[in-house]
Amino acid sequence: MPGCGIRSRLVWILEHRRLPAILCGLALVATLPALGTRLLNDDFCHWGVLAGPSRLGDDLFDSGIVTEESGRLSAALSELFAPVDPGRNLAALRNYGAIPWWTYDGLRVRFWRPLSSLTHWLDYRVFGSSAVAMHAHNLVWLAAVMFLVTTLYRRLMAPAWIAGLAAVVYVLDDFSYFPAMWIANRNIFLSLFFGILSLLAHHRWCQGGSWAAGAGSVLFLAGSLLSAEAGVATFAYLFAYAMILDEASRVRRLLSLVPAVLVTVLWRIVYSMLGYGASGGSFYSDPSREPLRYAWAMLVRGPILIMREWCGIPADIFSYMPDSTTMLFWPVVVAFVVVVLVALLPLLRVNRLARFWLVGMHLSVLPICATMPMNRNLLFVGIGACGLIGQFIGGFLAKESWVPKRRVRRVLAWGLCILLIAAHLPCALAARIAAPLTTSKIVGKVRETMEIGSPEGLAEQDLVVVNAPNPASFLYIPLQQAHKGEALPRAVRILAPGFGQLEVVRKDEKSLMVRAQSGNLLSCHSGHVLDMAWVYLFEAISTVRSADNALRRGQKVELPRMSAEVVEVDSRGMPVEVLFTFEVSLEDESLRWLQWNWKKDRYDPFDVPAVGERINVRGPF
């Protein structure tokens, strides 16, 4: 790279010894809007576990949504990230209506993140219920991560300006904003913080450092795993380091991994023995409990996540599409990823560090394939991706020896260089600046589905929702109501998701039938090959019964003051028609009826039809 003019100035900046601190400051400034964000979704669950009985209303205890253990450190360490547990609270949540009647009996969403949980417990002891202070705490971890990422690049990469370029690319990426503005997502920063420390200590040990560095690497790996399941990606980078960067003999390289393998295996054994994991729904798939579902998810989602790292197209965009549309684009995604790999081959052949970044990023994709593609899960993957991007752009512009001489390969390399520069510098900067606005729009859309209207008289009523647009939100609505000091419904009864058009038939004084006009009650059916809509996101996050756990015709679910009987199912065992029978007349004042208005994005009162009358409830399409 020429050492004059603007270029020499850029090199000077990228090599500046204070660059880590400068990038930390820029990341913090860009993320300051997160301080104004209120509690969101799982933050309310955390409030219920951490605030303590004195701050929670009696209604929450009576409903079974929270327990008398609230506020205790033991509860925080074991149950903070365990919203649904078949052995602890699933029955109580379903009886109240925080999870819907069709929830699978074995649904488990239970994560073990004791180090992250400890930081949240300390929040409530030090800051009370100040959301601003808790968001500021998130920003501290964000800054620490950005400092360590820059340090890691500088330790492994040369010349220094290429390391600086990789760090700039990482900081500009918008994947860090959402975890910063969502208090409950702090765990990814902690896991990444300890993960990078583990890799730095391992590198020092392998470069002739003391055994203390080796021991520190193992301890930091444990810290990464105990902060979030994403810490498995730390082992992915340690494995890649041993296989590619370590210059010792093959036997010594394998032996260097033994402590990390033991720690990772021990963590997983304890994790499973304590009953943690996520299975039974479709939002998460547990590799150990559902290996076939996870393998399919890995095949579909892996290329999507890798593609996002190269071209910057948000991985989340596929959450707003039906599965059929995703599969239509999937071959294009795979072809694109293959073309990028071909363009990278000249660099990969001659540069071990580039191979390390590539293998590390691909291996670190595997854990996050267990859930839907999301940018916020790519922080570990981004370490390898941004390192490789920095090396490719820097080496190409500096005309290093690996740059292809043949015309076809040179054109391909030029094309990739232009794509990477455009996607990860100007476009990434624009996306980073816009992140507070785009994220607030998503958060606002979710919050709309949680606004159930006037609380007057609600404490003595069962809230009956004919077509919930986002059934998952009802796990948080009672906690949100209590947090605002408003009355909770006596119970919640969701008849069906609002994913499609419904036919509602009044059978008699106390019962009505709900039928899907097309498909089944639990799935979206727009009829369009190419489609994007909010409802697909709501469907993805609200799936509490996977296709492997079908319902059967005649199956009956008994809830306090209401029963749901499955009258008809489709070929996959998903309900098509369900009969709901209440304890009282449907006009009784103890029932408050709501329906979701897709045109106005709000809940409206639902007029119960007369006996024998049938009405149609509009869907999103």
Give pLDDT tens digits for 536-568. Answer: 999 999 999 988 889 999 999 999 999 999 999
Domain parsing of the chain, residue ranges: 20-38+121-443, 452-617
Please identify which residue in the block is written with the tokens 């999507």: 304
DSSP label at 522?
T
Length in residues, the chain: 621
The predicted pLDDT at position 575 comes to 96
* Cis peptide bond N-terminal to 259, omega within 30: no
Residue 578, pLDDT above cutoff 80 = yes
Residue 449, Cβ neighbours under 10 Å: how many?
23
Torsions phi, psi for 86 (to 5 deg): -60, -30
DSSP 468-519: ES-GGGGGTHHHHHHHTTPPPPSEEEEEEESSS-EEEEEEETTEEEEEESSS
The predicted pLDDT at position 427 comes to 95
Give the angle 178-183-187 at the CA atoms, nearest 5°: 85
Q: With the CA atoms of 264, 267, 271 and 274 taken in that order, what torsion angle do they form, in degrees rounded to the nearest 10?
A: 160
Sequence-distant (≥ 6) Cβ neighbours of residue 210 within 8 angstroms: none
Token code pair at residue 259: 């402590």
d(CA 452, CA 192): 38
The predicted pLDDT at position 245 comes to 95
Q: What is the pLDDT of residues 425-465, one digit of tens each?
A: 999 999 999 999 999 999 999 999 999 988 788 989 999 99
Sequence-distant (≥ 6) Cβ neighbours of residue 39 within 8 angstroms: 47, 131, 183, 480, 483
Question: pLDDT-derived band of residue 286, with 50, 70 and 90 as boundaries?
Answer: confident
d(CA 387, CA 358): 9
- Residue 359 near residue 243, CB atoms below 8 Å: yes
d(CA 21, CA 32): 17
The predicted pLDDT at position 2 comes to 44
Q: What is the pLDDT of residues 230-264, one digit of tens each?
A: 999 999 999 999 999 998 889 999 999 999 999 99
Mean pLDDT computed over 377-397: 97
Please identify which residue in the block is written with the tokens 């074995």: 106
The predicted pLDDT at position 81 comes to 95
d(CA 365, CA 353): 19
- Residue 109 near residue 285, CB atoms below 8 Å: no
Residue 42, pLDDT above cutoff 80 = yes
Rounded mean pLDDT of the chain? 93
Please identify which residue in the block is written with the tokens 């203390």: 212
Mean pLDDT computed over 139-143: 97
Residue 151, pLDDT above cutoff 90 = yes
Residue type, 440: S
User: Which residue did the predictor score with more confidence, 405 or 234?
Assistant: 234
d(CA 144, CA 163): 18
The predicted pLDDT at position 1 comes to 42
Long-range contacts of 160-164 (CB under 8 A, 24+ apart): 160/14, 160/15, 161/1, 161/10, 161/11, 161/14, 161/15, 161/394, 162/14, 162/390, 162/391, 162/394, 162/395, 163/14, 163/390, 164/13, 164/14, 164/15, 164/16, 164/19
The predicted pLDDT at position 4 comes to 57
Token code pair at residue 484: 């605002």
Residue 503, pLDDT above cutoff 70 = yes
The enclosing H or E element of 91 equals helix 90-96
The predicted pLDDT at position 527 comes to 67
Burial letters for 603-615: b for 16+ Cβ neighbours within 10 Å, e otherwise?
Answer: beebebeeeeeeb
The predicted pLDDT at position 330 comes to 95
Give the C-alpha distances (Å, rounded to integers) separating 261 from 188, 254, 266, 268.
21, 10, 8, 11
